[in-house]
């Protein structure tokens, strides 16, 4: 009987065969069933082959409707919202209706993109295929972040209001994407998988590598915040209309330094992400080869999945192009109405931490939950939850900082204390639950409850995007004056000015 334990990367695979060594395939090409006959799955074409070529409309549309699983097929019932969103976009007013319809329409569009990416990944080598599936799961997030930073107005936060200042929403969306994967998606997978199985055991290497990388990414993301928090009390306040000679370390200087640190940190994190990708792709016995592929072969519906109709390469590329164009268009509609949603009373932290990550990840999460419920492939599910979180922290978030840098927009990684605590505590909670190498429905329920607590707190978190008016008009003639006073006196003067500005 084969051992249930799986080797770690780089270790040799041991079995009872004397000639077995490190190059022995983990999954032999010829498998036998319990009666000594060749496994039926080997009589089916390779999982990426369709047996057809070119484009065939009826099979193409049929496979689009069936999608990858039952949950994804049900998501396709939301397609009517897509044309409604397009029609509403050209009508005056109705801002909240436009946002809601575009929000719902993104879900089936994202589902289509994920399914097309999955079909494309099937046709690639195993390691590359899994990386491609992870990448396609993050394309929507990257598009959303780029659209948000494009709409941001650099001078909005320095003016007399918050209109156009979208950086707090982007920062919240970065961390919200990580938290949605770690708490909500993983929790629901543990819960629904645990309802059918008393205990779900996963390989320690998936959880250890995943949570270790998340802790590393959290460290990198929080360095600019720590730098700012440590020095903000030492910085000399900036009071519009008053210039102080001989004082170099001002709040404006501190913010500029934080921006530079964020940009350098982003480059370092992206380098770390590509090193991680290279390691996984080049390791002879990587996570994918040793654990995830084994899990997929043990899946309850492995046989049915192998026999499903598949796209041709032409159909795959067409589905990717269609879904990508549609998702981008709907996200443009969505981002265009974000300011109206905030003005209607929805807190920007709730919008960034909860609403935006939910819509961009909805289809992907439903697929992961279906895998946990129907297939019981817990290692695959675990990686589908941890992998996108790692990519958001190491690549997607830092990428938007560099895009903002290229556009001349001050996007940084200076998160507030509230979000810092959320990221660190959530990572530690998930690491604790994964430590014993198994999960159950109770642990899943607890992770979902933690997410609900965070959602509730973010709803009551006040909008801090409104810059307080100081009563000085832009363009007013500013004269250089020499003053001598203590920092405490100056802070009191600043508070007095703020109080006058509110009146």
Question: Hey, where are the domains in the chain?
Answer: 57-155+163-236+249-294+310-461
Pure H helices in 44-166: 57-66, 70-75, 81-89, 95-122, 126-151
Fold classified for 57-155+163-236+249-294+310-461: A middle domain of Talin 1 (1.20.1420)
Give me the residues paired with residue 438 across strands.
Answer: 201
Q: How many residues appear in the chain? A: 503
pLDDT at 327: 92
Q: Which residues pair with 162 in a beta bridge?
A: none
**Per-residue model confidence as pLDDT tens for the chain (503 residues):** 433 333 333 443 333 333 333 333 333 333 444 444 444 333 333 455 655 666 767 777 877 777 777 777 888 889 999 999 999 988 888 889 999 999 999 999 888 888 888 788 777 766 566 667 767 778 889 999 999 999 888 765 444 345 678 888 999 999 999 999 999 999 998 898 888 877 777 777 777 777 788 888 888 888 998 898 888 877 766 655 555 554 567 778 888 899 999 999 999 999 999 888 887 766 544 555 555 566 555 555 555 556 667 778 888 888 889 989 999 999 999 999 898 888 888 888 899 999 999 988 887 788 788 878 877 777 778 877 888 888 899 999 999 999 999 998 889 999 888 888 888 888 888 888 888 778 888 989 999 999 999 999 999 988 754 433 233 333 333 344 455 566 667 677 667 666 655 55
Helices (H), 284-410: 287, 293-297, 302-307, 313-336, 338-343, 348-350, 356-370, 378-391, 397-407
Of the candidates 219, 260, 251, the one whose C-alpha atom is nearest the C-alpha of residue 233 is 251
Q: Quick one: tokens of 61?
A: 């549309």
Report the predicted TM-score, pTM, of the whole model to 2 decimal places.
Answer: 0.76
In 3D, which of 1, 41, 22 has the Cα closest to residue 308? 41
Contact 319, 112 (CB under 8 A): yes
Would you state the torsion angle of the CA atoms of residues 67, 87, 55, 62, taken in this order, to the nearest 10 degrees? Answer: 30
The tokens for 258 are 């934080």
Determine contact, residues 265/398, Cβ cutoff 8 Å: yes
């Amino acid at each position: 009987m084969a051992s249930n334990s799986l080797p770690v990367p780089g270790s040799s695979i041991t079995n009872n065969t004397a000639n077995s060594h490190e190059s022995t395939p983990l999954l032999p090409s010829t498998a036998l069933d319990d009666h000594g006959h060749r496994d039926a799955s080997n009589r089916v074409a390779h999982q990426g082959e369709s047996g057809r070529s070119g484009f065939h409309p009826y099979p193409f549309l049929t496979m689009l409707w069936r999608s990858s699983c039952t949950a994804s097929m049900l998501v396709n019932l939301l397609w009517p919202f897509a044309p409604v969103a397009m029609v509403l976009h050209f009508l005056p007013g109705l801002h909240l209706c436009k946002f809601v319809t575009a929000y719902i329409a993104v879900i089936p569009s994202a589902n289509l993109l994920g399914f097309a990416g999955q079909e494309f990944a099937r046709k690639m080598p195993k390691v590359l295929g899994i990386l491609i599936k992870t990448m396609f799961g993050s394309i929507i997030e990257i598009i959303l972040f780029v659209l948000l930073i494009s709409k941001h107005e650099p001078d909005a936060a320095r003016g007399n209001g918050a209109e156009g200042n979208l950086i707090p929403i982007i920062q919240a969306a970065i961390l919200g994407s990580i938290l949605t994967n770690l708490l909500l998606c993983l929790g629901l997978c543990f819960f629904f998988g645990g309802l059918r199985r008393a205990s779900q055991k996963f390989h320690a290497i998936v959880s250890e590598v995943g949570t270790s990388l998340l802790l590393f990414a959290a460290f990198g993301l929080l360095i600019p915040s720590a730098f700012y928090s440590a020095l903000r009390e030492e910085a000399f306040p900036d009071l519009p209309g008053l210039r102080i000679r001989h004082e170099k370390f001002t709040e404006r200087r501190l913010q500029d330094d934080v921006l530079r640190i964020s940009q350098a940190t982003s480059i370092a994190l992206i380098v770390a992400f590509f090193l991680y990708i290279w390691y996984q792709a080049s390791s002879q016995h990587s996570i994918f080869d040793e654990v995830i592929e084994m899990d997929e072969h043990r899946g309850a519906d492995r046989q049915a999945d192998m026999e499903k109709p598949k796209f041709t390469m032409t159909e795959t590329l067409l589905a990717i192009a269609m879904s990508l164009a549609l998702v981008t268009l709907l996200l443009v509609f969505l981002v265009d109405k974000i300011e109206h949603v905030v003005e209607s009373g929805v807190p920007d932290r709730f919008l960034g931490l909860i609403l935006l990550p939910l819509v961009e990840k909805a289809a992907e999460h439903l697929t992961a939950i279906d895998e946990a419920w129907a297939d019981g492939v817990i290692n695959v599910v675990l990686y589908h939850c941890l992998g996108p979180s790692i990519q958001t922290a190491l690549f997607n978030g830092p990428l938007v900082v560099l895009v903002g840098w290229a556009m001349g927009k001050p996007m940084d990684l200076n998160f507030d204390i509230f979000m810092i605590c959320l990221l660190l505590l959530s990572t530690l909670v998930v690491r604790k639950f994964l430590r014993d190498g198994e999960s159950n429905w109770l642990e899943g329920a607890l992770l979902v409850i933690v997410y609900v607590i965070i959602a509730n707190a973010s709803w009551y978190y006040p909008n801090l995007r409104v810059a307080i008016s100081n009563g000085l008009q832009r363009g007013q003639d500013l004269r250089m004056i020499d003053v001598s006073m203590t920092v405490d006196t100056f802070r009191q003067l600043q508070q007095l000015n703020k109080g006058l500005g509110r009146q």
